[in-house]
Amino acid sequence: MSEKFSRRDFLKLAGMGAATTAVLTGCGPASRYVKREPYQQMPEYNYNGQSTYYATTCRECAAGCGLVIRTIQGRAIKTEGNANHPLNLGKTCARGQATLHGLYNPNRVRGPIKHARGDRLYAKANDPFNDNFDDAEPNMSWDEALQTVADALTKYKPEEIGFLMGMAPDHLFDLVTDLANATGINAPVRFGALGMFESRATLSKAAETLFGEARMPFFDVGGAQVVLSFGANFLETWLSPVSYTRGFASLRQAETKMRGKLVQFEARMSATGGKADEWVPLRPGTEALVALAIGRLASEIRGGAMPRVFSSVDPIDVASKSGVKLEALEHIAAMFANSTGALAIPGGAALGQSNGLAVAEAVLALNALADNFGKPGGVYFSPLAPSQTEYQRPASAKEMQDFVQKMKDGKFKALFIHGVNPVFELPASMDFKGALANVEQVISFATFPDETAAEADFIFPDHHGLESWGYQRVVTGSDLPVLSGAQPVVAPYYDTRAAADVLISAAQLAGGSFAQALPFKDEVEFLRGKVSALMGEANGSFSAMDAVAFMASFQQFGGWWKMSDGRTAPSAADALNQNVKGDAAEFAGEGEFFFIPFVSPTLAEAGANKPWLQELPDPTTTVMWNTWLEMNPETAHELHIEYDDVVRVVSEAGAVELPVYVYPAIRPDTVAMPFGQGHTAYGRYAEGRGVNPADLFGGHFNEAGDLAFAGMKVKIEKTGKKRPLSRLESMMGVYGVGLGEEH
Amino acid sequence: MIKRFFDWLKQPLGLIAVGIVFLALFSIAAYGLYTTQQSPEQPIQFPHKTHVAFGIQCLYCHPGASKGPSAGLPSQAKCWACHNQIQKTQTSALLAPLKDAVLSGQSIEWVPVAIVPDFVQFNHRAHIAAGKNCEDCHGDVSQMNIAENPQVMNMGWCLNCHVESAGEDQEKLVKLTDCGTCHY
Amino acid sequence: MTDHKNHAEHAEAHLREKHLMLDPLPRGRMNEMVMESMRHITWKFWVVFGILAAISAYGLFYSWGVMIAEGLGVAGVNRPVYWGIFLVNTVFWIGISHAGTFISAILRVFKAEFRRPFTRAAELMTTFGLVQAGFSIFMHMGRVWLSYWLMPYPNQRLLWPNLHSPLSWDLLAITTYILGSTMYLFLPLIPDMAMARDRSTGWRKTLYKILALGFRGTEGEWTHLRNAMNIFAFAIIPVMFSVHTIVSWDFAAATRPGWSSTIFGPYFVIGALHSGMGAVITVLAIIRGTMKHMKYFIRPEHFDAIGKLMLIISMTWAYFFFNDYMVQWYGGDKWTKQLLHFHEAGPMGWMWFAMLVCNVVIPWAILWNPKWRSTPWLVSTVGIIINVGMWFERYIIVPISLTINRMPFTWRMYQPGIEIPLGIGTLAFFALLYMAASKLIPLIPVWEVQEGQMAHELKKFGRETVVTVSELE
Amino acid sequence: MATLNDLKISEVKLSEGEGGKWGMVIDQDICTGCQACVAACAMENNISFVGEEDSGYGRSMHWIRIERFWEGEYPEVKMTPNQPMLCQQCGSAPCEPVCPAFATVHSQAEKLNLQVYNRCVGTRYCANNCPYQVRSFNWRDYKRPEPLANQLNPDVTVRRRGVMEKCTFCIQRIHKAQDQAKAEGREVMDGEFTTACAQACPANAITFGRTDDPRSLVSQLAKRRGHGAKHLEELGTLPNVTYFKGG
């Protein structure tokens, strides 16, 4: 201790004192001052601190639900359903809710980029919560980008230019179609993994065979009393899940009718099967047989002449082949025959087999027996969207294989890819990635740094769906013909540009027939032209005196729809006189297990990069952030496999390793696995998470050209590794694991 | 030595020294407190006083106050609408940042002084509707140059007024003192 | 005749050797022994002290710092096990702290003479244990920097702590207990401080001078001191019982299967004594083994006496355990049944059985034998085992019971994380405080021992030698 | 059990343990478990995502979760009706008395269980005492990498580490609707607003509204479906969420 207290010490002490008081008064206003930037020019209809709502269309899948996005001072805050929209009536699914995590995703393509194929588009890090992920810097100007597109259009012969697009029949598809028609380039091909798993080609082909029209059928679940669903996962991702879920709700609990019943035929209980009153685990591949047998038994109950389609099937034989007890078949047939509102739906894995077309036909024939065509609770043709003349089906897997073959043969010199991620979504055995090597120039319009974008020469990023203009035809799910409208709800966050704008500008640069094909100032002018063509149509949801007002209403209401039921009844004339080949499906591969891939109900094909979708538990298994293999407890016991054990699934085309989820509701001879994870790019939340069942798919198709994704047998090999799955459920509380023996 | 020191402290000189040390510590603490209570630097030395003196109403520039939660800062377009026509705008050094901002299209980064923490959900509209005047909380702005906050806007201050304005009305008191009225 | 005389002398010598109270030394010598035990600091002491200081710093500064900065995610708590080892340790340390009061207050009130040499060591345990309990409970808080909100103080927000909450009762009870027990520790320390003051120089002299409060040993001072100690001894007993009862209410007042049990109050108190006695005997064995001259003060007779107490407490604990189990099981609530089954048959079932072995089987097997329970190393090992068992008991009550609730969908196991270094930190800090105390204050209340020795006399009635104790106060 | 209908506005007194004001009816028969409510809730209420490891360890922050169990064994196995579990906004909530800081209190005005984030010191006693296990704790400062934070709802406080949180029945929407109604000089109408979960639910399995108003849709539904169940009612918690199990 000393009496001397140096000046320096004093200052130190003073500093410490001030710092301490500052900490102690940390609640003082100074600690909270933030800078605020007011608008430079306040947009009209905007108030400080108040939300503005914009109607638009959801782009998370091809269904086309109407959304209203709540925005506040230029930021999109919340997705709400558009209550006026005939398809979803104000409701949304989880993916629609999480679309904001796409908009503000930390990994987006931030501007036009030229890069070497295969290069990373963002820095890799192990911790997805870390901020230090750098997206690749844009290294081109948009002028250069437009010139690149224009060059690509002019440098190659029209037939050497291809467009591969997403599944939604939207304005961009119309624009490219117009361009193709005018210039002779290849017509755009639309594809999406959801369409592949829904077997849309099979549905329309069956409709064509039975009813003479290749249309998308609509199943009025809500109006029915007994619904037999052959694998259709209509409460998850199938065709138009929000609309079908609404149907299901009124099947069960409508004010005006009795509670309807749902019977689900599938080897692995899906989320839809979980809601069914009866779940029938039939042997995969025997769906057609079972449908025919039920038809035969139901016809017998109803009496009268046995329809030709059911005449050749032997229910006893079917019972033994399918593993469904004869009594069960009889009981279901009785339920079906005695109901006034019987409906049968084909879908899901049932169609993705070698005999998928027969399944679809047999099931549609059941509806003919129920005589429900064009009746409430029955089968309709979905209304064609306004200005649509025919059902525009997305490409089947077979058609995609032909497309890839053309690529391999060097028939495409320039390929434009928009709204689809074929490197991830197509079966690995098709080798889309390899085929890209034979295409001279690949231009991607990807919003996100996905696997296909990484393989492109140029990425000219399109806006996120919530930043863009557009319209989309609603293919199915609504009784009204709907053209759903999209508008930007926020200003583009990055230096992105609408693909339609890029094409229009590039076409101007390219000149000649290109410039003539797209004589528009910009995307909006093109849109306005298309939309205002509807002005003259009668019975619309709104009308207007001029094109500007019409377009404004189109934006305001989130689309335009006719107010009259656009559904039509399929002709039932020949449906019962067909000859459906009811043989069981053939399975490729050596293994002993049937393999059922299904689309993850929460992630679907493109949700993996949205963190909150990753954190949503799967409806059946409650697993988050990963892929799993579902296996019957008995099988697991026999193979000495426990939950979370990593196994190797080997198909004829490939192999993947993933942890086992011991799943009580799956046949012992079947294993199942969700599709949606297993990305090798696509941003920090998606990459390196889970595995992709597409790696296992071989090149087998059903008669309609859809992929026989469920037509495989696989081998299971133990690896000795363990990988705990993140589950919301408790292993103890739900399965009694670790509670002691007696439980 | 320690003993000698303590003995010295008991001497008049020592007592004075102790007093000085205490005074110094107190001043440091007071200074520390003072620094946390200062109005922040503003991009423009905006004189509220002058504007109010011209008869401009609060709600002219902060119209949100009567309509919703946030009073809002005026967009620079609004400033410019008047200042555009004022000769002084071209010459005044004070106004140069405004001119620059408008011409360059940059935002002016204001620092609001009347702030509540982010866990408080404050709604201007309800307060205006309840008959509160701006100056009740923000002080006599007509006498202020650069914005300053005359109040310590803490919970006790809020509650005090809430309880007073509820008066005898039990239902109103319940509503106005409910935690969930401001915190959610 | 000589034989008889010899025999009597032998018996007397034996009694004197056996009982501290009958084996007086000159007061100056005894004081010097105690002073020497404080001053005698070896390099081994510094090594152990350094290691413990390092562990405490790692546990209580670094690990806690990390947890404060990162959040409780670095610990093992989750849904539904919102409370983990922090609460286990809190209850454990509060339990440990009960021994001090029990020994010094209850035994003092009942005039159990064997208590005299170790009341100080036991009282220190109360204070030091409560310090660790305080650490543990504050570690447990999600926003410990706001813990002052739990204190009732006038504030501009017009907000007060919620006195409906058992946690608030807890806070009041523990605060009262720590204040009361510290004062109760201090009162008997005064004469010893005065003694030490008179026998030391330098900084020690200054320290003891301050702590002795000018005590000179006048009759008036002694009277005041005795009065004060008597008042505190009686007053602290209900506080002691209430503290652990209130701690038990943290659990018993909750609406959870396995917690909502009316017997928890006494069950927790007896559990606290169980672990506390185990800890005291362990500390005594360590003091006796490591400090100079302590073999004179702490003798097998003391281990024997505490051993008997431990046996009785163990039996009482077993009774309350059975009672609690029985009532919960008989209640028939399905979740409680599930939980009881989970205790034994779940993945942590071994702990349940280990608890019974440590708390009942081993103490009963060893402590019934006077010879064994007089063996310091053996009985202190039993003390350690009991503490392990009691820690298990709290672990079963907190994280294991929290695993099971009324929502089976959320049942989930708990895996400790940073709780372990934090817990070890409190243990090290506890030992560190003891080590520091052993060199700063007399661990033996010399005046009490001397007082006892003055009161005890060997008298001869005919041939028999009889111990008499005179009333001094 | 008193039906929701039995509660009249005049009977609702200003003390906890009395009747509710806002209530919810959940129809498990039509809940498909699609997780739309969970996602909507997360987006509306600024709920953090916690990543694979923490979510697998029981630290996910969902304010609403969908529970399902299994009955029977293959092939007679059935999935039990999906059960969305969220804060039941108990009239006599076990979480409230145990908080030492008054951070979880009963709103006398709205008859809800409030969680005042900024008052929470993180003892987690409330979560232990919640029989429904619907409270989630901020175990860490879960980061939202830029620019994800742009999506945050300004009407809801962003919570930091060490704070308990739970379903609020979207109290920010209640306040907004009340404010709007007051500005227009009228009462809040039934169906004028709803919670984020009910708004999203594609099956319309969740209905929200005034249970103290017999004309509201929730009251009507409760009356129509009749045999509604309240969870763990035997504990005397007076929950304000009614479940309809099966057909």
- In angstroms, the Cα distances linking A359 to A292, A339, A365, A366 are 9, 22, 10, 11
pLDDT tens column, A230-257? 999 999 999 999 999 999 999 998 888 8
Residue B84, phi-psi category: left (phi > 0), alpha (psi -120 to 50), beta (remainder): alpha
Task: Chain C: give the shortest CA distance to residue A507, in Å.
Answer: 55
Beta pairing partners, C122 = none
Strands, E, within A83-186: which ranges? Answer: 113-114, 161-165
pLDDT tens column, D96-155? 999 999 999 999 899 999 999 999 999 999 999 999 999 999 999 998 888 899 999 999
DSSP of C73-133: GGSS--SS--S-HHHHHHHHHHHHHHHHHIIIIIHHHTT-GGGGGGHHHHHHHHHHHHHHH
Chain centroid to Cα C458, Å, comes to 34
Q: Alpha-carbon Rg of chain B, whole angstroms?
A: 24
Distance of alpha carbon C291 from alpha carbon C309, whole angstroms = 25
Predicted confidence at residue D5, as pLDDT, reads 38
The predicted model gives D70-98 an average pLDDT of 94
Name the class of domain A199-383+573-577: alpha beta
- In angstroms, the Cα distances linking C92 to C85, C136, C141, C393, D10 are 10, 10, 17, 9, 51
Q: How confident is the model at residue D17 (pLDDT cuts 50, 70, 90)?
A: very low
pLDDT tens column, D162-171? 999 999 999 9
Residue C46 inside a domain? The answer is yes
Between A215-219, A361-365, B40-44, the lowest mean confidence (pLDDT) is in B40-44
Q: Smallest Cβ distance to A17: which of B25, B72, B74? A: B25
Residue A325 in tokens: 């007890």
For A302, counting Cβ atoms within 10 Å of its Cβ (0-12 exposed, 13-18 middle, 19+ buried), the class is middle
pLDDT tens column, D26-61? 999 999 999 999 999 999 999 999 999 999 999 999
Residue A329 in tokens: 């078949």
Helices and strands (H, E) in chain D, number of each type: 7, 11
Q: Around Cβ B20, how many Cβ atoms within 10 Å?
A: 10
Which residue in chain B is spatially nearest to C159 when comparing CA positions?
B156
Residue among A483, A478, A526, A484 at smallest CA distance from A502: A526
Asked if the model's pLDDT at residue A555 lies above 50, the reply is yes
Token pair 């817990």 in the structure block, residue: C423
**Number of domains chain C contains:** 1
Predicted confidence at residue B23, as pLDDT, reads 94
A482-486, strands of its sheet edge to edge: A470-473, A482-486, A559-561
Strands, E, within chain D: which ranges? Answer: 22-27, 65-67, 70-71, 78-79, 83-85, 104-106, 113-115, 136-137, 164-165, 206-210, 241-244
CATH code of C241's domain: 1.20.1630.10
Strands A342-346 and A226-230: parallel
Q: Alpha-carbon Rg of chain C, whole angstroms?
A: 24
Beta pairing partners, A588 = A712
Predicted confidence at residue A94, as pLDDT, reads 95
- In angstroms, the Cα distances linking A720 to A657, A717, A723 are 11, 9, 10
Residue A475 in tokens: 């293919």
Q: Are A628 and A673 in contact (CB under 8 A)?
A: yes
Q: Are A395 and A403 in contact (CB under 8 A)?
A: yes
Q: Which chains touch C (3 or more CB pairs under 8 A)?
A: A, B, D
Q: Which one-letter DSSP state was computed for residue A462?
A: P
pLDDT tens column, D172-228? 999 999 999 999 999 999 999 999 999 999 999 999 999 998 999 999 988 888 778
CB spacing of A81 vs D146 below 8 angstroms: no
Triad A357, A359, A362: Cα angle to 5°? 110
CB spacing of D157 vs B121 below 8 angstroms: yes
The CATH 2.40.40.20 domain(s) of chain A lie at: 593-735
Q: Smallest Cβ distance to C159: which of D102, D127, D132? A: D102
Q: Are C178 and C130 in contact (CB under 8 A)?
A: yes
Residue among D31, C409, D77 at smallest CA distance from A268: D77
Q: Around Cβ C471, how many Cβ atoms within 10 Å?
A: 6
Asked if the model's pLDDT at residue C464 lies above 80, the reply is no
Interchain contact A258–C (C-beta under 8 A): no
* C261 φ, ψ (degrees, to nearest 5): -135, 130
Q: How many residues does chain B have?
A: 184
CB spacing of D109 vs B174 below 8 angstroms: yes
Interface confidence (ipTM) of the complex: 0.91
Q: Chain A 712-731, CB below 8 Å of chain C: which residues?
A: 728-730
Predicted confidence at residue A481, as pLDDT, reads 94
Q: How confident is the model at residue A740 (pLDDT cuts 50, 70, 90)?
A: confident
B/e letters for C188-225, b = 16+ CB within 10 Å, e = fewer, are bbbbbbbbbbebbeeebeebbbebbeebeeeeebeeeb
The predicted model gives C418-432 an average pLDDT of 95
Within 8 A of A733 by CB-CB distance, chain C residues are 407-411
Predicted confidence at residue A223, as pLDDT, reads 93
Interchain contact B120–C (C-beta under 8 A): no
Which residue in chain B is spatially nearest to A24 when comparing CA positions?
B33
The residue type at A354:
S
* A540 φ, ψ (degrees, to nearest 5): -85, 170
Asked if the model's pLDDT at residue A545 lies above 80, the reply is yes
Predicted confidence at residue D18, as pLDDT, reads 56
Distance of alpha carbon D137 from alpha carbon A504, whole angstroms = 52
Within 8 A of D136 by CB-CB distance, chain C residues are 79
Q: How confident is the model at residue D14 (pLDDT cuts 50, 70, 90)?
A: very low
Within 8 A of A255 by CB-CB distance, chain D residues are 224
Distance of alpha carbon A326 from alpha carbon A21, whole angstroms = 83
The predicted model gives A167-189 an average pLDDT of 94
Predicted confidence at residue D33, as pLDDT, reads 95
Predicted confidence at residue B68, as pLDDT, reads 85
Asked if the model's pLDDT at residue A134 lies above 80, the reply is no
Asked if the model's pLDDT at residue A97 lies above 60, the reply is yes
Strands, E, within A331-391: which ranges? Answer: 342-346, 379-381
A52-57, strands of its sheet edge to edge: A52-57, A66-72, A75-81
Q: Are B81 and B144 in contact (CB under 8 A)?
A: no
The predicted model gives A702-726 an average pLDDT of 94
Q: Which one-letter DSSP state was computed for residue A121?
A: S
Q: Are A51 and A462 in contact (CB under 8 A)?
A: no
pLDDT tens column, C36-45? 888 888 899 9
Task: Chain C: give the shortest CA distance to residue B159, in Å.
Answer: 8
pLDDT tens column, A667-700? 999 999 999 999 999 999 999 999 999 999 988 9
Predicted confidence at residue C5, as pLDDT, reads 67
Asked if the model's pLDDT at residue D2 lies above 50, the reply is no
Q: Smallest Cβ distance to A248: which of D30, D50, D148? A: D30
The predicted model gives A113-140 an average pLDDT of 80
Asked if the model's pLDDT at residue D4 lies above 60, the reply is no
Asked if the model's pLDDT at residue C406 lies above 90, the reply is yes
More confident residue, D103 or D17: D103
pLDDT tens column, C56-74? 999 999 999 999 999 999 9
Residue among D25, D38, D48, D61 at smallest CA distance from D204: D25
Distance of alpha carbon C428 from alpha carbon C433, whole angstroms = 9
Asked if the model's pLDDT at residue A7 lies above 60, the reply is no
Chain centroid to Cα A690, Å, comes to 18
Q: Are A695 and A135 in contact (CB under 8 A)?
A: no
Within chain B, which residues score under 70 in pLDDT? 1
Interchain contact D156–A (C-beta under 8 A): no
Chain centroid to Cα A500, Å, comes to 22
* A196 φ, ψ (degrees, to nearest 5): -65, -45
CB spacing of A729 vs C403 below 8 angstroms: no
What is the domain range of residue C449?
A: 39-469
Mutate to test the interface with A, among C409, C414, C415 (most CBs of A within 10 A): C409
Task: Chain D: give the shortest CA distance to residue C300, in Å.
Answer: 45
State which fold the A593-735 domain adopts.
Barwin-like endoglucanases (2.40.40)
Q: Of all residues in chain A, what percent carry a pLDDT higher than 90?
A: 79
pLDDT tens column, A294-316? 999 999 999 888 999 999 899 99
Predicted confidence at residue A447, as pLDDT, reads 95
Q: How confident is the model at residue A181 (pLDDT cuts 50, 70, 90)?
A: very high
Asked if the model's pLDDT at residue C101 lies above 90, the reply is no
pLDDT tens column, D171-183? 999 999 999 999 9
Indicate the domain borders of chain B: 2-36
Element (H, E) at C256: none
Predicted confidence at residue A304, as pLDDT, reads 84
CB spacing of B183 vs D117 below 8 angstroms: yes
Q: How confident is the model at residue A741 (pLDDT cuts 50, 70, 90)?
A: low
State which fold the D4-244 domain adopts.
Alpha-Beta Plaits (3.30.70)
Q: Are A651 and A693 in contact (CB under 8 A)?
A: no
**Interacting residues of D14 by C-beta distance below 8 A, sequence separation 6+:** B170, B171, B174, D108
Within 8 A of A91 by CB-CB distance, chain D residues are 36, 200-202, 204
Task: Chain C: give the shortest CA distance to residue A499, in Å.
Answer: 44
